[in-house]
Structure 1
Amino acid sequence: MSSSSHNSELFNDSGCLSQYALEHYRDHLLSAEDLRPVEKHLDSCPLCKDALEGISDMDGGHESHSELDEEE
C-alpha cells in the first residue's frame, strides 16, 4: 500500500506531477519505483516537462534526466 501513498506525493489532484516529484526527479532522488511513473508522465505532458525545465533553470541549472537521455 505504500505505492499509493507515494503516488499521492508524486501527483497532484489534476493528475500532473507535484512540486515534490519535479524537485526529486531533478535532483535524482526518486526510487526506481517512483521514477517510472514520473518519466512516463513527463513523456506525455508538455506542461510538466516545461515545469521541470523551469525549476531546473531557476535552481542553478541542475542537469535534468531528459538532458541525460538526449546524450545517449
Structure 2
Amino acid sequence: MGRRRFLVWGRGRGRGRKRNVKSCLQRKLRQLERTIPGSHGIMEVQTLFLTIQNYITLLEAKVTVLRSLSTFYGV
C-alpha cells in the first residue's frame, strides 16, 4: 500500500506556507485533470470541476446500463 500524503495547513511560516499550499493544490489539480479522459491542457478550476461532474454522471449512467443488462440476461 502506498504512502499517503496529506495537505497540512499548520506547517511553515508566513509567505512560504501560502506558496507551498498553492503549489500543492495546483499539483493535485493537475493530477486530477490527468485522470479525466478528454481533458486537454490546463483548464480553469471551474471548468475542471464541471468536466469532472459530467464524467461522474456518465460513469453512473454506464453502471446503470450495465446493471440493467446484467439483470436482463441473468448474469
- Asked which structure has the greater CA Rg, the reply is 2
Same-fold status (TM-score > 0.5): no
Q: TM-score, normalised by structure 1?
A: 0.30
